[in-house]
Amino acid sequence: MAYDLSFAKEVYKKSEMGHWIKMCMQCGVCAGSCPLRAHWQHSPRQLFQMVRAGKKDEVLKSSDMWMCTSCYNCIARCPRNLPITHIIHGLARYAETQGKVDPKQPTRRFAVEVFWENIVATGRVGEAMLTMRLYFQDGIGAGIQRGLEMKDSALGMLKTRRLNPIPFRGKIKGYDGFKKMLAKAAELEVKLENKA
Amino acid sequence: MKEYTFFPGCSSEHNASAANMENSIQSMCRILGIKLNEIDDWNCCSASIGYAGGGQLPRMAMSARNFALAQKQRGNADLVATCAACWLAMRETNERLEHEADVKGAINTALGEAGLSYDGHIRTRHFVEVLIEDIGWETLKSKVTKPLKGLKVAGYVGCQTNRPFGVCGDSFENPLYLDRMIEATGATAVPFPMKVACCGGALMFSETEKSCVLTKQILQSAVDNGAEVIITPCPVCQLNLEVYQGMINKNLGTNFNIPVLYYAQLFVLAWGGSWQDAALHQQVVAAEPLRRFA
Ligand code: SF4
Ligand code: SF4
Ligand code: SF4
Ligand code: SF4
């Protein structure tokens, strides 16, 4: 495993809230906070240590960050007030921009290819389309399989008028401006660096 | 008549998954004399899970566009969300715009592309804060005409109204606002050790089996403590706890059939509203234990 000592500097500058990692005192309180901790190979504490040790590929290729449920337990408990949730999201996003993530990582696929694309397409979440794209991302067969597993729930939602039977929703009125705004924000994002 | 600017969020749209929350909250507002003025042409707030596809500025721009529209249409009136995830996304964005000048500058440059700008000063609030701080416990209790006496309720607070900001100064480990709401309707709040445990949130979509284990523990705790129904303030929690019961029963060998409602549905029923007003016809797991009060 190669150690890249510029990696810590890179994270401090470019990853969301990354500079806070300097403040971590390795107490381990956050390690017990994650609801899916059984499925994390490294806890947030360990990931922060690995950033400082320059273990670039180990961190960025890890699926750990993608196990974050955004529960904010860690933020509520960290004695140093690190915004851990956002640091973890930041590392996941940074890994994504660096092309390091396994494209089949399920949460990455949902967050990037289904959720984000869904809102960018119209300005709002279309739940029926979201569900369809989620189910059919592995092809028709797998989609029908998953659809059948959730058939009773889907029918329940339809019957109680909590699911729109028409999967296509219109765009918001200001969609053109909305799109341009997002493009500009993405352009400025590249220049945004953490100060501290 | 109290007026607020309103951000419903995608899940509260017509025919969307939290239509029961939206309908029951609108009934509460009619009874309380609250007017929620919906932002015209709002966009999705991008929630917590927006981080991966959006990064920081595009994600914050989404909320900022809503703030800019709110300011243009309604001035600096408080902006109210009913969804926990929307409230959190908006509040986080608002705090960063307030404290980080370069973020505010960049966001306004992006807003400029849409012919908009936002100069700050709008407070972002959750509807439960409005109920507790602006309406007050006494009024919430005084409206009760049909106390839900004997109904045993588990108040599931979940994560995002509770952490990291919290509601009205409640503690993170044992927030009490939901239990107090249950008691205000005349019902009984059962002890509920899992009240702030996470249900898996948006990972229910991508890591369904892992998240079902979390949800199962929450449902089990409610049932073990004698709850007839669960209530929650969060549309994601509501969906996860209600709609996946069938799958959990099948895969994890349980036998759950417990209604999962919004606090607003209890209030509306206790205040004399109809089954329809309380949107109780919109439950996937039928709200049978409430029939005796209808
Ligand atoms: S709780 Fe905070 S200080 Fe302790 S290890 Fe985790 S991040 Fe570091
Ligand atoms: S927010 Fe994410 S990192 Fe923090 S405790 Fe929850 S799952 Fe773990
Ligand atoms: S809660 Fe989710 S779906 Fe609703 S507005 Fe926020 S991001 Fe969009
Ligand atoms: S309880 Fe579940 S849905 Fe509700 S806020 Fe937590 S993770 Fe999100």
Q: Where are the domains of chain B?
A: 2-127, 136-293
For the stretch B98-109, what's the b/e string if a residue is b when 16 or more beta carbons lie within 10 angstroms of its beta carbon?
Answer: eeeeebbebbbb
Residue A5's pLDDT band, with cuts at 50, 70 and 90, is confident
Q: What is the pLDDT of residue A27?
A: 96
Taking phi first (over 0 means left), then psi (-120 to 50 degrees means alpha), and beta for anything else, what does residue A101 get? beta
Q: What is the pLDDT of residue A165?
A: 72
**A29 vs chain B: nearest CA distance in angstroms?**
15
**Same domain (yes/no): A27, A87:** yes
A155-161 own/partner pairs: CB under 8 Å, 24+ apart: A156/B243, A156/B284, A157/B17, A157/B243, A157/B284, A160/B19, A160/B20, A160/B281, A160/B282, A160/B283, A160/B284, A161/B15, A161/B19, A161/B282
Question: With an 8 Å Cβ cutoff, are A116 and B15 in contact?
Answer: no
Please indicate, yes or no, if residue A1 is contained in any of the structural domains: no
**Both structure tokens of A111:** 């967050």
Please indicate, yes or no, if residue A180 is contained in any of the structural domains: yes
Between the CA of B201 and the centroid of ligand 4 the distance, in Å, is: 4
Identify which has the larger pLDDT, B52 or A47.
Answer: A47
Question: With an 8 Å Cβ cutoff, are B200 and A124 in contact?
Answer: no
d(CA A51, CA A30): 16
Between the CA of A9 and the centroid of ligand 1 the distance, in Å, is: 19
d(CA B17, CA B195): 22
Please indicate, yes or no, if residue A23 is contained in any of the structural domains: yes
The string of pLDDT tens digits covering residues B245-259 is 999 999 999 999 999
Please indicate, yes or no, if residue A174 is contained in any of the structural domains: yes
Which ligand has the minimum distance to the alpha carbon of residue B42?
A: 3
d(CA B219, CA B230): 8
- Out of B92, B160, B161, mutate this one to test ligand 4's pocket (max ligand atoms within 8 Å of CB): namely B160
Which ligand has the minimum distance to the alpha carbon of residue A21?
A: 1
Question: What is the mean predicted confidence (pLDDT) over B88-109?
Answer: 96
For B136-293, CATH number? Answer: 3.40.50.11810
**Same domain (yes/no): A117, A165:** yes
Q: What is the pLDDT of residue A3?
A: 72
d(CA A10, CA B251): 44
Q: What is the pLDDT of residue B260?
A: 97
Residue of B88, B226, B221 whose CA lies nearest to B161:
B88
Between the CA of A125 and the centroid of ligand 3 the distance, in Å, is: 7
For chain B, what is the mean pLDDT? 95
Tell me which residues have their CB closer than 6 angstroms to ligand 4.
A 69, 71; B 84, 158-160, 198-199, 201, 234, 236-237
Please indicate, yes or no, if residue A153 is contained in any of the structural domains: yes
Q: What is the pLDDT of residue A138?
A: 67
**Predicted TM-score of the model (pTM):** 0.93
Q: Name the CA dihedral angle for B165, B170, B141, B132, rounded to a multiple of 10 degrees.
A: -30
Q: List the beta bridge partners of residue B5.
A: B37, B79
The string of pLDDT tens digits covering residues B249-294 is 999 999 999 999 999 999 999 999 999 999 999 999 999 999 999 9
Residue A133 has pLDDT above 80, yes or no: no
The number of folded domains in chain A is 2
Structural domain harbouring A159: 106-195
**Same domain (yes/no): A21, A50:** yes
DSSP string of chain A? Answer: ----THHHHHHHHHSTTGGGGGG-----GGGGT-TTGGG-SS-HHHHHHHHHTT-HHHHHT-SGGGG-----HHHHH-TT---HHHHHHHHHHHHHHTT-S-TT-HHHIIIIIIIIHHHHHHSS--HHHHHHHHHGGG-HHHHHHHHHHTHHHHHHHHHTT-S-S----PPPTTHHHHHHHHHHHHHHHHH-----
Question: What is the mean predicted confidence (pLDDT) over B21-35?
Answer: 97
Please indicate, yes or no, if residue A16 is contained in any of the structural domains: yes
For B2-127, CATH number? Answer: 1.20.1050.140
Query: Of A131-145, B66-80, B106-120, B275-289, which range is least confident?
Result: A131-145
Q: Which residues contact B103 (CB under 8 A, 6 or more apart)?
A: A192, B56, B57, B60, B96, B97
Q: What is the pLDDT of residue A132?
A: 64
Domain containing A21 — which CATH number?
Answer: 1.10.1060.10
Vertex B16 angle, CA B198 and B124, to 5°: 60
Question: With an 8 Å Cβ cutoff, are B41 and A173 in contact?
Answer: yes
Mutation target for B interface from A71, A96, A118, A137: give the one with most B CBs within 10 A: A71
Q: What is the pLDDT of residue A148?
A: 66
Residue A114's pLDDT band, with cuts at 50, 70 and 90, is confident
Question: What is the mean predicted confidence (pLDDT) over B157-184?
Answer: 94
Question: Could you say which of A97, A117, A137 is where a domain stops?
Answer: A97
**Same domain (yes/no): A91, A123:** no
Output the CA torsion sign for B102, B104, B109, B110. Answer: positive
Residue B88's pLDDT band, with cuts at 50, 70 and 90, is very high
The string of pLDDT tens digits covering residues A150-190 is 777 777 887 888 887 766 678 999 999 999 999 999 999 98
Q: What is the pLDDT of residue A71?
A: 96
d(CA B76, CA B119): 10
**Same domain (yes/no): A89, A121:** no
**Same domain (yes/no): A12, A89:** yes
d(CA B184, CA A31): 38
Residue A2's pLDDT band, with cuts at 50, 70 and 90, is low
Q: What one-letter code names the amino acid at B246? A: G
d(CA B45, CA A154): 25
Q: Which residues contact A180 (CB under 8 A, 6 or more apart)?
A: B113, B114
- What phi and psi, each to the nearest 5 degrees, are found at residue A117? -65, -35
Residue B24 has pLDDT above 70, yes or no: yes
Tell me which residues have their CB closer than 6 angstroms to ligand 1.
A 24-30, 44-45, 48, 78-80, 82, 84
Q: What is the ipTM of this complex?
A: 0.94
The percentage of chain A sitting over the pLDDT mark of 90, rounded to a whole number, equals 66
The string of pLDDT tens digits covering residues B195-225 is 999 999 999 989 999 999 999 999 999 999 9
Question: Could you say which of A97, A119, A154 is where a domain stops?
Answer: A97
